[in-house]
Each structure stands twice: as structure tokens, then as C-alpha cells.
Chain A
Amino acid sequence: MKAQTLTKGGGLVVLLVLAVLFPLVYNNPGVTVYGLYALIFATAAVAWHIFSGNTGYIALGQAVFIGSGAYTMGIAARDWHLSATATFELLPLCAAVGAIIAVPFGLIALRVRRHTFIVITIAVFFIFQLMAFNLSFTGGSSGLGFPFLTWTQAQVNQNFYYIALACAVGAIIIAWLIGRSRFGLQLRAIRDDEDRARGLGVKAMRVKLSAFVISGAITALIGAVWYYYVDQAEPQTVFNPLFDLTLVLMVFFGGYGSIAGSVLGALLIEPFSQWMSTQPAFSGSLSDVVLGGILLLVLLFMPRGILPTSAEFITKIRTRGRPAVVPATTIGAATATPSAPPVSSGGAR
């Protein structure tokens, strides 16, 4: 077991070093952008996992936090006349605003479950989008600009890449710590059977709300980074209904309920859709059709995501069909993917 932990830890360090070296090796800014967007979505997917992956409540309103973070940064930088570098110091404020917004949002939405919860998150999302369009201080439909960065394009991409990498690593560590804590166990107890969890003394509302707030803060933080990079926050792009569904798609594609799966899904899908958007062959809306088709194939043939399914497959080959001593999924998650971040304990499904 100890050797296994060492391999796993070593693998993670290697992955991190590779991620740090990536923009230095491929120093073409066009390539760095792929990495940047992949990391932004990985952070958002891990944040989604902290709440929805653990509790089983499918939230489709994460764009609320992306938008809150982006608008907080834009409005504060404009009204306080901040310089470009000072704007980065606003990032903790953006996370705090995300957390504050998550409290009433969660208090309302978490009173209901399943489908009704999903629809409430969509409704709150639309309320926020319309507020961004209509309130006087948001700049209306033309949106907000951000302070001008004096870096070259290559510097911009590289610096934002490292900021996004720091966010992603931070989010993964937080998610991992939650996963192995008592708090994480309480969240997963809610996913398995909320009424029973309450009967066993889990303060369901408080626990769910805490996870929702953490998830909201991380999402708002990465939202601010994202739209500072884009340099323009418009209501229809910042509060984008497609973003919410894409996030869920990524997590289910990689493996619902595990940190590694959420990250993997984002790292595979986001660069692919970025690449498709640059190809004339997929111009217009063909990229949507391709993405939808892939999603359908994965859902129908690998319904638990590529990571758990391939782990099972490898276990099957290694044990040559003989029943394993330990439950097969645990072996698969632990040994088949040593280089991936640890699957939350007890979360292998």
C-alpha cells in the first residue's frame, strides 16, 4: 500500500512538472491558449465536483458564479481605477463575492431535490443573466472592459496559464482534502440517501450549503481569471447556459463522482472543442453536432465515464476474468491509473 501511495504521489509530481513545463516547451501562444482553457474548465469542473459530484445534486447554475466573479473584477477595477497588475489582487474579493452569492442561492435551491433543484438553478441563472443585462452598473448588453495589460500576447497567455494552473491545483487539493474528510463522507452520505443521512445525524442543509459555497467561491475565482483573459465581459457570453451543460458533460465524460474523472473530462473535451472552433471544416454549428454525437456515444456505451470504464476493463484483463479478491472497482481506480490524482476514497462507483 505504501509503495502504491509513493507511485501515485510520484505520478502526480511528474504531471505537475509537465503542466508547468508545457508553455515553456510549446511556447507558441496559440498552443498555450489550449492549455489555458483546459485548466480553466478543469478548475470549474473540480468545483462542480465538490458540490454536485459529492452530493448528487446536479447544479446547472454554475455560470452564475462565473459571471459574478467576472463582473466583480470588472466593476471594481473600473470604479476604483485600478492598474492592470493591481487588478489581480482583486481575485480573493471575486471568490468572496461568489461565496456570498452562493449562500442565498443555496438556501433557496437546496430546499428541493432532484429535478426541481435542477430547474431552480436554471431559473436563478436566468435571473442573474437578466440582471447583468438590465442593471445600470453592469454596462448593459455591451458589457464591461478590463484594465489594459501591457504584456505581449505570448506573455499574456503564459501568465494567465500559470494563474489558471495555480487555481486548478488549488481546487484539486481542496477537493481531495474534502473527499477524505468527515465532511466529504457526510456529503456522500447525502448522495446515497439524504433522509437516512439526516437520521444518522448529518446536518444535511448545513453540509450541502457549505459544499455549495466552496464550489461557488472557486467558480467565481476562475470566472474572474477567465474573463480578465478574454478582456470583455458581456452578459450573453459570461452567463452562458451552454457553459453549465458543457461542465456536466465534461464530468460525465471523464467519470462522475471522482476528481480525476472531472479533470480528465475537462482536459480532453475543452481543447478538442477549441480546436474544432478553429477548423473551417467544423464551421458554423457542425462542432455542436460532433460534440453532441460524442456525448451520446459515451453516455450510451460508457455510461459511467471513460475513467471508471477503462479502469474496469484493465482490471478485467489483469485478473483474466477471475474474480478479484478486493472489489474490482477499487483495484481499478487505485492501480490502473497510478498517474492520475487520487479518486476520492469510497467514491469509486
Chain B
Amino acid sequence: MARELSEAIVDGILIGGVYALMAVGLTLIFGVLDIINIAQGVLVILGAYLSYSLFNKAHIDPYVGLLITIPAMFIIGVVIHWAFISRLRGGERTSMTLLVTYAVGLIIEGILYKIYGANNVQLSPSYVNSSVHVFDFYIGWVYIWGFVIAVALVGAVYALLYRTRFGRSVRAVMQDGDAARLVGINVNKVAAITFGVGVAVTAAGGMVFGETNAFNANSGYDLISRLLSIVILGGMGSVGGALGAAVFMLTLESVVTIWYPTWAVVVYYAALVIVLLWRPTGLFGQKAVRAQ
């Protein structure tokens, strides 16, 4: 029993790290642009398919391929922001951006479906099934490396936010866009780059997701609802919160799976509802989400 429990907790933490990476992109985009990027789930799948194609067609190892996929996803993010998001103005912007990102997601999903078909695929480099013996159980190397890369990238985003001049402008825009504009920050540029960074991290998230799960073009819906739950639970716009919430949620799910495998996901969403009843701003949220 103790062995199963500790195995579940370790699994939860490792997978939680990967979800944290995907959720950090979402929470950054939310914090700076005040929008929910519904396409984030599909973009993760796009990242996974990019790694898949590089690996199967060009025989580039997925980890090395990140050097290509991360910049590619960054550019895709900047283009989406430039073409659609930055053009929306007016009172219903919240719901409009929701729909715009949904439409973008729908288009990307349709194209992926057309190219790759409905079959589930999985990224399977030679080392995908090798594991390491720790304590009393085995942990897949994929999970460990995924966790390491996730922590490294979340750390990089954190450093970008809190250690650079650009990060300071990002945080200024997060606090008050109009005031940031007044002190001479190019808000549109900050927003575009933030959207790019938020989408770029999905390349790595998608790569690890693709190694640990079978996926197809439709897998994005399940992902986006989980990611949104994590972001809301952590407090929207809080990078540390997303990290904590992701690890908490995935560990919870993994532990419940030991006893009630079919109900684990219900517990996952129920936990979100219960926490929000008690703390409407999420676990680590500072923004007053109740303020309209």
C-alpha cells in the first residue's frame, strides 16, 4: 500500500510538472492580455505533432527537435496574436477573444485531422519504455526527463519575468495596461511577445505529452479543460500558482486512481469547484477575479 501510494505521488508530481509547463503559457497569456486562450490545448497537440513529424520523417530526436519546434511555435503564437487577437476591441472583448481563439483552435484541429487522420499516435523514440528503479518501483525515464525540461523552462519563464527589463514591462502591463502605456511601454509588442512565449512552451509540453500519451487531433479538448482548471485553481495570472496547482491536481488524480480509477477525473474537477467555493480567487491568486 505504502509503495503504491508513494509511486502515485511521485507520478503525480512528475506529470504535474509537465502540465505546469503548458498551464504557465495559458496563465501568462491571461495575465497580460486578459484573455482565455481556448486554442492552447490544440496548440499543445500541434507541438506534439511537430515533434512527431520531425522524429518520424527527419529522424531528429524529440529533445533535439525542441530547438526547432520551440521557435516555430513562438512564431505561430506571434502570428495568431498579430492576425486576430490584436484586432479585437470593445466591450465584449472577453467573450470575443474566447471565440476567436476557439475558431483558431478549430481550424488548427481540422488541418491536423486532415494531415494525420483520426488514428492515435505516440512519440516513441527507443528510450520511451526504459525506466529506472527507485525505492520500490520503476519510473519511466520519459517522465523524469519531461519533468526536468518542464522545470527548466518554467524556471526560464520565471527568470524572464523577474530578472529582465522585458519581464518588468510584462509585469507592468499585467498590473495596469493603461498606466504601462503612459510610462512608455509598447503594450502591443509586450502582448505579442507574451502570446508567443505562452504558445512556445506548448512545443515542449506537447513533446512530453506525446511521449507519455497516445494522441490525435481531438485530444486538445480534454487538455484545455484540465489546463483551465489548473490556471483557475492557481489564481489566474500567477506563474507560481499554476505550478503548485498543476502538481496538486495531478497528484490528487494519481492518488485517487489507486482506489477508484473511473472516478479520478471527477475528483479532479470537483476539487476545483470545492476550492473555488472556499477561495474564489484560487489558491495563489492576487487579482480580484470577482471584480467585473
Q: Which residues of A contact B (CB under 8 A)?
A: 58, 108, 111-116, 118-120, 122-124, 126-127, 130-131, 133-134, 193-195, 241-242, 245, 248-249, 252, 256, 284-289, 291-293, 295-296, 299-300, 303-304
Q: Is B169 an interface residue (CB 8 A)?
A: no
B41 vs chain A, min Cβ distance (A) = 10
Cα separation A114 to B30 with both chains bound (whole Å): 12
Q: Is B88 an interface residue (CB 8 A)?
A: yes
Give which listed residue, A123, A242, A285, contacts B273 with CB less than 8 A: A123
Measured between beta carbons, the chain A residues less than 8 angstroms from B151 are none
Contact B103 A299 (CB under 8 A): yes
Task: Given A241-B225, A293-B107, decide whether A115 and B292 contact each other with a Cβ distance below 8 A.
Answer: no
Q: Is B289 an interface residue (CB 8 A)?
A: yes
Q: Is chain A's interface secondary structure helix, strand, loop, or mixed overall?
A: helix
Contact B114 A285 (CB under 8 A): yes
The number of residue pairs between A and B whose CB atoms lie closer than 8 Å in the complex comes to: 146
Cα separation A116 to B234 with both chains bound (whole Å): 12
Contact B266 A134 (CB under 8 A): yes
Task: Given A115-B236, A116-B276, A116-B280, decide whether A134 and B290 contact each other with a Cβ distance below 8 A.
Answer: no
Q: Is B94 an interface residue (CB 8 A)?
A: yes
User: Can you list 22 contacts pairing A with B, beta carbon distance less than 8 Å?
Assistant: A58-B95, A58-B98, A108-B276, A111-B280, A115-B236, A116-B276, A118-B98, A123-B225, A131-B266, A134-B266, A194-B292, A245-B99, A248-B98, A248-B99, A249-B102, A249-B103, A285-B109, A287-B110, A288-B113, A289-B114, A296-B104, A303-B89
B44 vs chain A, min Cβ distance (A) = 16
Measured between beta carbons, the chain B residues less than 8 angstroms from A248 are 95, 98-99
Q: Is B111 an interface residue (CB 8 A)?
A: yes
Total interface residues on B, using CB and 8 Å? 50
Contact B110 A118 (CB under 8 A): no
Measured between beta carbons, the chain B residues less than 8 angstroms from A126 are 225, 265, 269
Chain A residue nearest to B106 in the complex (CB): A292
Measured between beta carbons, the chain B residues less than 8 angstroms from A300 are 84, 87-88, 100
Contact A122 B225 (CB under 8 A): yes
Task: Given A116-B276, A241-B225, A296-B84, decide whether A123 and B269 contact each other with a Cβ distance below 8 A.
Answer: yes
Measured between beta carbons, the chain A residues less than 8 angstroms from B270 are 127
5 pairs of A and B residues whose beta carbons are closest in the complex: A292-B106, A285-B113, A289-B110, A288-B110, A285-B110
Q: Is B185 an interface residue (CB 8 A)?
A: no
Cα separation A239 to B88 with both chains bound (whole Å): 31
Task: Given A284-B114, A299-B99, decide whether A195 and B289 contact each other with a Cβ distance below 8 A.
Answer: no
Chain B residue nearest to A134 in the complex (CB): B262
| Most-contacted residue by chain B among A124, A130, A241, A291 (CB, 10 A) | A130
Measured between beta carbons, the chain B residues less than 8 angstroms from A112 are 276, 280, 289-290
Measured between beta carbons, the chain B residues less than 8 angstroms from A124 are 269, 273
Cα separation A44 to B88 with both chains bound (whole Å): 27
Cα separation A111 to B232 with both chains bound (whole Å): 14
Measured between beta carbons, the chain A residues less than 8 angstroms from B98 are 58, 118, 248
Contact A249 B110 (CB under 8 A): no
Measured between beta carbons, the chain A residues less than 8 angstroms from B269 are 123-124, 126-127, 130
Contact A116 B114 (CB under 8 A): no
Measured between beta carbons, the chain B residues less than 8 angstroms from A286 are 110, 114
Measured between beta carbons, the chain B residues less than 8 angstroms from A113 are 289-292
Cα separation A124 to B113 with both chains bound (whole Å): 28
Q: Is B92 an interface residue (CB 8 A)?
A: yes
Cα separation A61 to B228 with both chains bound (whole Å): 14
Give which listed residue, B100, B114, B231, contacts A299 with CB less than 8 A: B100
Contact B99 A252 (CB under 8 A): yes
Task: Given A130-B266, A245-B102, decide whether A119 and B113 contact each other with a Cβ distance below 8 A.
Answer: no
Chain B residue nearest to A140 in the complex (CB): B262
Cα separation A292 to B105 with both chains bound (whole Å): 8
Measured between beta carbons, the chain B residues less than 8 angstroms from A58 are 94-95, 98
Contact A108 B99 (CB under 8 A): no
